[in-house]
Structure formats: structure tokens, C-alpha cells
Amino acid sequence: MAPRTPIQLEKVRAKSRTKIINAAIELFARKGYHATSISSIAAKAGIAKGLLYHYFKSKSELLDEILKNSLSEVDEPMQALMMPGDPVDKMALLIESTFAMVQSDIKRWKLLVSIMTQYEVLIRIRKIFSKMMQGYLEIFEHLFKEMKVPQPKLEAYRLAATIDGVMLHYIYYLPDGYPLEEIKNEIIQQYAKYRKKKK
Amino acid sequence: MAPRTPIQLEKVRAKSRTKIINAAIELFARKGYHATSISSIAAKAGIAKGLLYHYFKSKSELLDEILKNSLSEVDEPMQALMMPGDPVDKMALLIESTFAMVQSDIKRWKLLVSIMTQYEVLIRIRKIFSKMMQGYLEIFEHLFKEMKVPQPKLEAYRLAATIDGVMLHYIYYLPDGYPLEEIKNEIIQQYAKYRKKKK
Amino acid sequence: MAPRTPIQLEKVRAKSRTKIINAAIELFARKGYHATSISSIAAKAGIAKGLLYHYFKSKSELLDEILKNSLSEVDEPMQALMMPGDPVDKMALLIESTFAMVQSDIKRWKLLVSIMTQYEVLIRIRKIFSKMMQGYLEIFEHLFKEMKVPQPKLEAYRLAATIDGVMLHYIYYLPDGYPLEEIKNEIIQQYAKYRKKKK
Amino acid sequence: MAPRTPIQLEKVRAKSRTKIINAAIELFARKGYHATSISSIAAKAGIAKGLLYHYFKSKSELLDEILKNSLSEVDEPMQALMMPGDPVDKMALLIESTFAMVQSDIKRWKLLVSIMTQYEVLIRIRKIFSKMMQGYLEIFEHLFKEMKVPQPKLEAYRLAATIDGVMLHYIYYLPDGYPLEEIKNEIIQQYAKYRKKKK
DNA sequence: AATGAATGAGGTTTCATTCAT
DNA sequence: AATGAATGAAACCTCATTCAT
């Protein structure tokens, strides 16, 4: 009959929060933010409507929370660059890990894309995204320079577009049977010719 | 105050419809379908709320109408293929006209993308889109075969992805200063080597 | 089938607004602002809940509107002072008209009192009230000086308090059989001795 | 961690109750009963929300409790009358102690007034108040008769109104610089002329 | 005694749609 | 064709109260 310990409480809290967030991601991604009602999130999470407001101040804060988490993951692929080695290998690794990231959590990416293509409202989010994109472009360009690709800047834009386009198609248009692996390999392959020869 | 002639009536009708549709495209594209209210559309169109229902049975039918119009335009670039000539040229033309189409009506494309990334509901629309995409892929593949590009099917997927990715970036991420022209030329250029030599 | 004329519209609007405002005054006065639900107002007014928001942006704006109207009436008794004549008569008139004002619309005054005794929130309203009170005090003092009442300022405070106290008792504590007229006359009577003698 | 003795327990209970009641008075008085949430009371009292329900069955019972306590204090001034002596002195004492009561606990009185001006619901409370008022009126009348004031009943009403009016102004309208003492003395003073001459 | 997570009824507000003119 | 008042379902959110620990 004693109150729960802080650790017990934290566990309970974490469990409920997770249930809510997962339900929200699923529904936001599938039907869009506005078309998803708090009721439906609560129902899917198996909790009472009121509890949701115990954990999140509002619907929009719930979204914010999810987006913040999602975007924080995005920087991870960048780590690939710290390593020494042939830029072609680094580029390959970068592309691989980027694709892997999306493949591992399609729902989250669906949500991100749908949010990105939506709000003039969520300017803050868009800014984060823009910066991230800028980061990618710079790294691509840097590697292309190392690889002696002609027009490295333009090639960076093109690669970024190709990757996002593939993702888009993979996620939305043709979820069944999209030859993701083959295309990924193609993309990586095209830079093979820039590999430095070993002596 | 004599009754208007049928022709005048028809004109009035067309004008009102156009005003409504334009207002709707603008708002749907900017704020999303659900976040846009009928009131705001009517206000932007400069008509009374009630009148909107004379022209469109419901909000969703208004959307449908817009989407139908938008998608019908998409087929036009395909015409380029009927012409005889070097497939490299045809491909270039196809790419050019596709880009031109988006550039000429960004709002419409923003709307299309935002819808595409949204509804499990609008399955019908998604089907149309899928078919369209399929069409593009087939034509690309066909041309690549003519051009003797190795792995024509894969290359078709890649090109489609690149084009959509570029559009996406152009429309959303970096609206200012996106080097659309240069990238477009790059994309076209890469196939120049497959041009048939004239005798 | 032509749309209503502006005049017709204004009539309809005024009718609905009045219905809503009357219902709101009644309920706010009886149960307090917070304890009164929008639903109950709409029900009492005989309209749909949604319509209320057609006329008032929010519950609190509805209250504001009512208060503004109510407070604007308050200045009227002051007119009594412009007239020439014995200050004792003017005072009598002022007291009479103040009481009459409350008697003629008890519900409104109940509401005003309940609001005044409630919100730290509605600071704006309280300021208006304070100023009004100040105005009364000054006029009372002015008349008392003319009447050569000793300690005119203090007497002003006392009269103001007595009047508000009588109102309070009349409105709340003992609505049945409260001897309002007699008390009013008593209050007026006590200043008779300051009447100037005619030559 | 030995179990507490019953006496310790009782102390703890009393302390918690007091904390809750004080928090509640403060908040009810400031924001009104309905606008004050149980959460905010618990927060201000520094306890958990659930605990509040160990001490009070419901929010409304908590209010009841406070009101009961508050009203029980009101009878105390009446004691002054048992004493022998000049009725003018007794009246003076009665007025003094009544004012003192309010001055010593403004918050409580704010609450009482706001409650009184609010609920048709709390009829029971209003009845108590009415009875109390009746009691005051009778005592006033009784003293006025002893003092040979003409129209003692009417004068009783007027005095009661003046006192409540002064309180009201003191509590709400003009908290800063309200000349409470002077007015009180004025009120007392006006009855000086009815003092019996000593032989 | 004490905690705070959890519930659910009910509150305010929005908005697609209908209706009378 | 055109208007805008009116409706009512459903959205978001609050909060008194209960419950498990």
C-alpha cells in the first residue's frame, strides 16, 4: 500500500508513453496529422483519452515530440565519414546506412514525409529538415571532390534527389515489389570508377 | 434584371467554378486538405459558403475534381514519344517537358504531393497515380532499350526516382536558389553518350 | 429565392443575438459564469450550440459583450447633475435613479456583482468599475460640499457603501419583502435638513 | 519506521487538513470555486491529488467544510450584547468587532461573498446566511429601540446595509487606501447622540 | 497516510453541410 | 445563382474522481 517507487513509476510512465507514441506514429503516417483524432490514438493505444493529456500537453505537442525523436536519428549516418579510407567506400557506406535507416522504420519516415509536405505551419521543423539536407549536400560534395568527380556540387544535388526519390517511391508508390536493393546497388556502383587504384 | 441567357449563365457558372477551384488549390496546397475549411475557401474565392455547394457536392468532391484535372495533364508529355527520331532526343524532350509541367504550376504539384503522402483513404487516386508511374517506367525502359543502356529496367526506376526527387527538393526543401536548370541538364546530359552516330 | 435583404438579415441577426444574450444573462447571474455551460445557454435560447459561435467568438467574449452593455448604462444617472437646483434635490434624484436602474434589471446586476466578486482575471472590467465608483464618490462629495455637510468626503464613502449594501441585500439575501422603498426614502430623508431655505 | 502513535497520526492529519483548507480558501477566493481545480489546490497545499480525497469526500464537501467554519465565526460578535451597559456602547462594540472580524481574514470573506453571489445551488448555505442576517437585524433593532432611535427597524436595515457595503468596498473595489477606520468611526459616531446621560 | 497513473463524463469549439429566403 | 443563418456531429481538451501500489 506504499506509493510506488520512482523506478516503478518511471517504468509505468515509459510504457504508457510508448504505447501512445507508437499509436500516434502509425495513425499520423497512415491518415495524416489532421485526419487523425485523439480518440483514435487513444483507442489504438488502448488507453483513455484523458491519459494522453497526462503525458502530452496537446495533440501538436505529441507530434512535436515524435518529430524531435525522429530527426535526432537522422544524423547517425554521418558518422561514417570520420573513418579513414577511400571516399568511394565512405560514400557507399553512407548510402547504405541511409537506406537502412528508412527501411528499418518505414512508418516514421512516412510520417516525416507527410509532415514535410504539409505545413506552412511547422516552420521550425522545416528549418531543421533544411539544415539536415544542407548537411547531406555538403558531405556529398566533399566526398565527390575527393573522388575527383567533375561538377561535385551538382552531382551532390543529383545524388540527394535520387536517394529521396527512391525513398519516396519505395514508401508510397510501389510498396510491393519495389527493387530497392538493386537500385541501391546501381547507385553505389556508378561511383566505383572513381575508386583510387592501390599501388 | 431580365433573366440571363443560357450562355451568360454558363459563363457565370464557369467563372465561379474557376474561382473556387483556384482558391481551393492554393489553400489545400498550403495548409493541407483537412486543415482547410470550406469557409476559408469560400472567403478566398469571394463567394458565399452556400454557393460552393451549388457547384460541388462536398468538400471531398471538390478535391476529387481538382485531382482529376491535375492528373489528366500528366499524360501530355507522353506525346513526345510518337515522334520519330533518336531515342536520346526523345528522352531529353520527355524530361524537359516533365520538368516544365511542374515548374508551370507549382501549387498544383504541391497539392498532389501532399495528397499522395497522406490518405490511405484516396485509394482510387493512388491507383491512378500508380498507373501513371507505371506508364512512365515503361516508356523510360523502352527508350533505354532503344538506347542500348545496360539494365534498362533498373535505369528506368532510377531516372524516375531522380526526377521525382528533384521535384520534391525543388518544391519543398530549398525553394530559393535550387539549381533546377543545371540539374536537369546534368540528367539529360548523362545519356548523351548513347546517341546514335549519324552516317 | 433571392437572398435576404440586408435589413431582413439584420433583423434575424438581432433576434438571435438577443435570444442568446438574454439566456446568458439569466444563467450567468443565477449559476455564475463558470458553472454555466454553452450547451445550457444554447438550450435556454432555443438554438443550436454552433450558432452561438456564429455570433460570439467564445464564451468569454459573450460575457465581455454583456458586461460592456451593462456598464454603459451606469453613467446615465449622472445626468441628473447637470440640472440647476438645490443639491439636496439633485442628490435625491441621483439616489432615486440609481435605485431605479437596479430595480429595472435585477438579473443584470446580479451578474455584475457576481463577476465583480470573482475574477482576478477580468482586470479590465474591474478597472472600469473602479473608475465608475470613483466618479460616484466625486459627485457625492461635490454635492455634500454644496450642502455644507461636515466631512463631505467621508460622507460620500458612507453613502456609496450604504447604497451598494442595500442593493446587495435587495438582490441576494432577502429578495422577498425587502423594504427597499422605505430604506431608500430614509436615506434620502437624512439629507433633508441640509436643504437651503428659500427667501 | 515504527508505526506512528495515534497522537502523531492525528497531528499529521490535522496538519494536512489545514494545509488543504488554506490552499483552497486562497484559490477559491481568488479565482472562484468552479475555476479552481483540485489539482491546483493539491499543488498549492504541497500534497498529492489523491490524498485530498482521504480528507474530503469531494470538492464540494471541501467547500462546505470551509463555509461551515467561516460561518460559525460570525456569531461571536453577538456575545457583546450579553453584557450590561449603555446600548450605544454595545452597538459600538458590535460594529467594532464585526469590522475586526473581516479585517482579520479578508480571504475568507472574499470567498464568502463570492459564494453568496453565486450559487442558486448552495441554497443551504444561503439559508444559514439569511438567518444570520436576520439575527443581526433583530439585535440592531433591539438596540435601536433601547436607544430610542425613531424607526428602529428601518434603521437596522440601513445599518446592516452600510456595514456590508463598506466591507464590500473594502474587500473589492478599493483595497488600497480605503479609509476603513474613519468610516467605521463615522458610523459609530452617528449614534453618540442617543447616549443616555449619566446622572 | 500517501502517491500519481488512469478513467470518463462533460466542457468548449470547429466545421461540413443544409435551409429559408 | 446566391446568401448567410442555422444545425449537429465530432473534434480537442479539462478535471473530479478512482485505483493500484
Contact partners of B by the rule of 3+ C-beta pairs under 8 A?
A
Q: Do D129 and C173 touch (CB under 8 A)?
A: yes
- The model's pLDDT over C161-189, given as tens digits with 9 standing for 90+, comes to 999 999 999 987 655 689 999 999 999 99
Does residue C47 approach strand F to less than 7 Å at its CB? yes
Distance B127 CA to F13 C1' (A): 38
Cα A138 from Cα A153, distance rounded (Å): 8
Q: Is the pLDDT of residue A199 over 50?
A: no
CB contact under 8 A, B182 and A154: yes
pLDDT for B199 equals 47
Chains D and C touch (3+ CB pairs under 8 A): yes
Is D163:D144 a contact under the CB 8 Å cutoff? no
**What are chain A's partners, defined as 3 or more CB pairs within 8 angstroms?**
B
C-alpha distance from B132 to closest chain A C-alpha (Å): 10
Check if the beta carbon of residue A121 is closer than 8 Å to that of residue B31: yes
Cell of B185: 541538364
D47 φ/ψ angles, rounded to the nearest 5 degrees: -130, 175
Task: Measure A4 CA to E1 C1' (Å).
Answer: 14
Is the pLDDT higher at C84 or at A102?
A102
Chain A residues with CB-CB distance to B113 below 8 A:
117
pLDDT at D124: 67
Of B119, B164, B183, the CB nearest to A154: B183
Q: Would you say C142 and C94 are in contact if contact means Cβ atoms under 8 Å apart? A: no
- The topology (CATH level 3) of B6-57 is Arc Repressor Mutant, subunit A (1.10.10)
Q: Which residues numbered 17-56 in chain A sit less than 7 A from strand E, measured from CB? A: 47-51, 53-54
In angstroms, rounded to a whole number, what is the distance separating the alpha carbons of residues C23 and D98?
38
**Residue D186 and residue C32: Cβ atoms within 8 Å?**
no
A167-187 pLDDT per residue, tens: 999 988 655 789 999 999 999
Query: Quick check: pTM over 0.85?
Result: yes
Report whether pLDDT(D120) > 70. Answer: no
Of B30-44, C35-49, C130-144, the one with minimum mean pLDDT is: C130-144
Q: Quick one: CA torsion of A11, A15, A20, A25, rounded to 10 degrees?
A: 110
Check the CA dihedral D22-D24-D27-D32 and report its sign: negative
Domain ranges across chain B: 6-57, 66-192
Arithmetic mean of pLDDT, D65-81 = 76
Express each pLDDT in A12-57 by its tens digit: 999 999 999 999 999 998 888 999 999 999 999 999 999 999 999 9
User: A133 vs B179: CB contact, 8 Å cut-off?
Assistant: no
Measured between beta carbons, the chain D residues lying within 8 angstroms of C169 are: 133, 157, 160-161, 164
Cell of C106: 435585477
Confidence of residue B48 (pLDDT cuts 50, 70, 90): very high
pLDDT at res. C198: 58
- Closest residue, CA to C1' of F20: A1
Give contacts of D168 with chain C, Cβ < 8 Å: 161, 164-165, 168
Residue D191, classed as helix, strand or coil, is: coil
C66-192 is classed CATH 1.10.357.10: yes
Identify the residue whose Cα has the smallest distance to the C1' of F9.
Answer: C50
Q: What is the pLDDT of residues D142-199, one digit of tens each?
A: 999 999 999 999 999 999 999 999 999 998 865 578 899 999 999 999 999 999 875 4
D86-113: pLDDT as tens digits: 999 999 999 999 999 999 988 888 888 8
User: Greater confidence, D42 or C132?
Assistant: D42
- The one-character DSSP state at A169 is I
The verdict on a CB contact (< 8 Å) between B186 and A119 is no
DSSP string, B168-187: HIIIII--SS--HHHHHHHH
